[in-house]
Every structure is written in C-alpha cells, then in structure tokens.
Structure 1
C-alpha cells in the first residue's frame, strides 16, 4: 500500500541543462572572470556570481546546492542552454526510482503545478500543503569527468562527474506541512524526512521542526524514520535539525560532500585510516542510531544495527548506479542487470579493510565498476535513498 511508505517533505520542478563549454567560456569573457575569483561559497546575487561558483565546483569535480537571489537568475542562465523539465526533490526522485521496481509510495509536496501533475507517475500518490499553483524552477547543471573550460586565464578540466543545484524556491523555503501529514503517518512503516536545508529563517525552522514532531506522534512505534541530509543554504542551521530530530531518527544519511562539509575538510575516500577517523568525528557531531554515508566508491552504515542494513545499502547502491548508467527512464530489468555487475576493485578492498579496522559497528559495501560515456549525475543521492527504502520495505 502507498500509505506504508511516506516520503517528504517537498518536491521541485527542475531545469536540467545540457553542458556546453562554449556557453560557459562566452560568459567568462563577457563577465571578465579571472581564475583568482573562483569560489563556491560566495553569495549568488547575479548570473556572474553563478558562473564563478559553478567554475569552482567544476575545478574540484564537486557537487553542491546553492541559493540564488532570484529565480530570474535561474531563468536567464537556463535560457542559454538546451534544457529539459523534470521533477526533483529527494522525496519525489526517490519515489520515482522506487516506482521503477513497482514499489508505490505517498509523497508530501509543498508546491504544485501542471508540470508536477503531468510528470508524477501514477503509482505515486501525493498530499500537498499548497492552496494554489506556483512554479519556482531549480537549475541543475551536470558535468562529466573531463569537461573542459578554457577562457582568459581559466583552464579547467573536471576530475569527476558531478552536479550543482541553484534555486530560489519560496514554497520550499517555507516548507509548510499539510494538515493531512499526521493522518498519512498513522500506518506508515517508513517515513523519509528531507528538505529542511532550504529554510533560511531560524524562527521558521524551529516552528517547522515543532510541526513535524507533532505529526510524527502519529507514527507506529516500529516505523523506521530515515533522514536524508543535504547542503544547507545557511550551514549553521543544520544543528537545529539535528538537535530537534536526532532522538526520533533511525537512519541519518548523507553523501560524501555533506560529510566533508560537516568535518570542514576534504577526506580521501579510499584511505582507510582517514575515513575511520572521519567517521569517529562524524559520530560525535551526529550521534544518530545509524549513520549512512554514500559515496562514489562505497556506501556504509555505522552503528550497532549496521549489519541489519546491508541489503538496504546494496539496494541504494544498485539504484543510484542504474540511474547513473541509464538516466531517468530505467526499468527493473536495467536495475537487475546493474545488480549483477562486479564491484570495483578499489571499493571492494577499501570496504574489507574498513570493516577489519572498525569492527562490527560498520557495514561497508563497494560501488560497482562503471564506465559510461555520458553518465547521469543528477539525482544519484535521491536514487540511493529510493533504493535503500525499497529494499528496506521489501525486507
């Protein structure tokens, strides 16, 4: 039943642009951008700022999510490229990935328009807090490894494929919860929480955290609560979410970028000693029952119940890998084909060594060895969540 899996808290309408180095190089010259200016952390108040931050992400092959001062910036930049309109938001992309395996769910939305009604699969029910239609697009820029940009004194070659998200989305910034959420949770077996990262007002965030705690009182005692972290538009506000929800979250999940943001430093993802130390620090920062970290090389669960989530980790890895290879329109057959592939040698060696190093409180599984000419880097974390929850629900 769809009501058994409730995924929240907000979906988006996304503009996915096709990477074109020539357009980026034209903008570098038009705005006289120099290599010394590249910085992924500056406020994005103009199209020029967007290009400066995007180039900084490209240089490190890193992904991220940034707030922009106006949706007009998104519209102006997106209009320069070929683009397609899709649905996003962790809960929606996870639900759509699960639907490919025939696993149905209910998603909680905070905005609605004809794009959502047209693109949401029939197997995804929804409840929505909005009382009228709005469209505030998210810009998603993905690049492949080796994407090259040369203009002025800038000469960049992306070391890894990744994606960057830019958005100004008032409904998701308010994250108003539907009055029907508590009722939807009464028979839920799994509840996904995501989306608090875009709220920028401290008082509003505290109010929403009180709201969701109230709705969650309707959850059955044995329901699993899964929290997926994301890049907070105001990084300091992530602690309010941790303080309010850590006691009611069963699985606290994040990707490699978010892990490194919490630690305040880069981590060599294939260095066992370095990752083990990072995980110990992460546990002190986020004392969740089970921590999940998913990366391009491996995914792991950390905690006393880590071993019980092995099948769910594999489901997440397989789902994200399937999307990486096949994009939006993958099938269950594609999923099964990916699941039969051989794990990467580096990931396999790392996973075994990390488990030896840290003992039974860690369960680490390697990613697959994948070679794809034009991979999809958008929505991989969301797909991991969908695969994890689908496997957990089937268990």
Structure 2
C-alpha cells in the first residue's frame, strides 16, 4: 500500500525521535574539534525549538522499543545510525515521513513508498581511503605481527639483524585493483597515484576525466580482470542486490597466491562461507584486511576458523578491524551534523506542509533512487 504522507494533517510541531544519545554526546567528545562541537550544539538547540524532540537514553534500543516509541508518539522523523535496524514495521507507520541516518550506507533502513530517507555522502572518502592505505602498508610490511613479536618479548639478544629477516614488499612494485569508483575509490586512486604503481579499476561508468589526470589508471570492463591480475584488491561498493557476494567463490579462485583482499564496504559484499571453505581447503592462499563482516560482530566460531587457517599457514596475514574505517573524530562529527541538518530541514518542511521529495530534493542528502 502506498502511503500518502504529504497529505496527512500536520501538527504545529513535528515529532523527532533520535535512537541514541551518542548524537548529542559527540559535542562533548574531547577528540572532536571545537567548531564541530559548537555546530552540533547549535543544531540541537534549533531542533529543540522547532520540534518535539525525543532522545533515546540507551545507545542500542531494540526494534520493538523503537517501534513502540515511534508509534505511541506519532513520530514524524527518525534519526539513527548503522546499528539501528529500521524495519518495515517502523517505516510503514503512516505518520512517519522520514528516516535520516548518520551513515553513508543505508541498508539498515527498509525502504517504503513515499518515505524520505537521507544519509551522509561526501564525508567519508578521506578517512576511509586513509584507512585503506594503512591496511595496505600494514599488511605489506607485516606491521601488526612484528609489533606483537617485539611486545611479546620474542626479539632476543641472539637474533642479529640479517639481510633476509622480516622481509616485506614495496607498494610501487604491485598492481592495485579498485572495484567501485565512487568518492572513496577515486580518493584512494589519487592517494595511490604518487606511488607509481599500476591501478586497475572497475566502475559502472568509466572515469575518462580521472584517467586523464591519473595516467596510471587502467579501466577494466570486467571485474574478473581485476581479480585475476591485481596484487591488492580494494572493494569500495555499496551493498545492493548486484554487489551481494561480489567476491564469491568464482572470483576468489581467480586471485593470485599471496594477493591481498581489502573490504571496507559491507560484509555481505564478500561470500564469507566460500572464503573460509577455500582457505581451509587450500584452494586459495590470500591475505585479508577486513573492516566489515557478515555477520557483525565477527562470531567466535568464524574467528576460530580464521585462527586455525593462520596456524596452519603462518605466512598468511589477516588484519581484522571492528568496522572503524570512518572512525575519525571530526568525520563522525560531520556525519552527525549532516543528519541533524537534514532532520531540521525536513522538520521545518513538515511544519509548513511542504514535506515532499520535490520540495526537499536539493535541500537534503537523499539516498540514490
């Protein structure tokens, strides 16, 4: 059933529900710059003046709790983030007009006809591309393992410096493959270009202008070309029906022995079951640097399987991070600012009966259609 949200009788003030106290608490975080703190504080003040604001006192309310609050208070706008699953039970509520998430990804929101959904694009690319670079260099130079080697007291007096000890690899000698040339992929390419390596890329649309700026770029029409030829592969795509298990059994089998697969996109982009089976059987021997998993958090049983693989094949390098690629203080603060700004714009539109996509199109960060 299509819900006509724009014709519903508007209240004097709309009701906004923020699903976590973390949004306001970012204004108190010591790592956040003063200007970002002041802007968050200012937006909260404006939001309190223009709406009936409800804030969760817990960081991760259950789906039932969120539905109950949204339903009982006839909430117009919900502000959330990735850990808050906004199911169809919530998005189908007839009085709900918008869901705004303080994340670039939005697959945690079940889309419903007529519902406005906003996200935070064009803010993560620097932080995430820096993170990818750190994963690449950490893996090539074996930094995590060697750090542990020293801290665990394994670097003994009788171990002299030698030519073939603790060898790593140089980035400039390798081919990097980027799958997904959105903002993050393009920023990563710019940062890799000075290293003078070959950069293969695959994208829905060929980036001719970018290729002129970066002569090291080589377009691959088929993703298989990247899986077969790249020494390092970075997955930078949104999670959609088309990218689900983009790195599946067939693609993983194409990868070079000793290649590095990086996933900072979404866990479901990689077929984790196929990955584990192929590593355990020895059909592939690849290094991994993952910031996202399917499911999250990484289950102990799955982690144990990865540990067993490394025990049997100690030359493999696995770096696993807890979904922190965008965890730069000011980046996260800006995500909150963008979400609050969108909520405020929509709240004001609701109050003047202009809550429709046409009116708001160029005023908020709508998700792609």
**TM-score under structure 1 length normalisation:** 0.29
Q: Which has the larger radius of gyration?
A: 2
- Higher fraction of helix: 1
Bigger strand fraction: 1
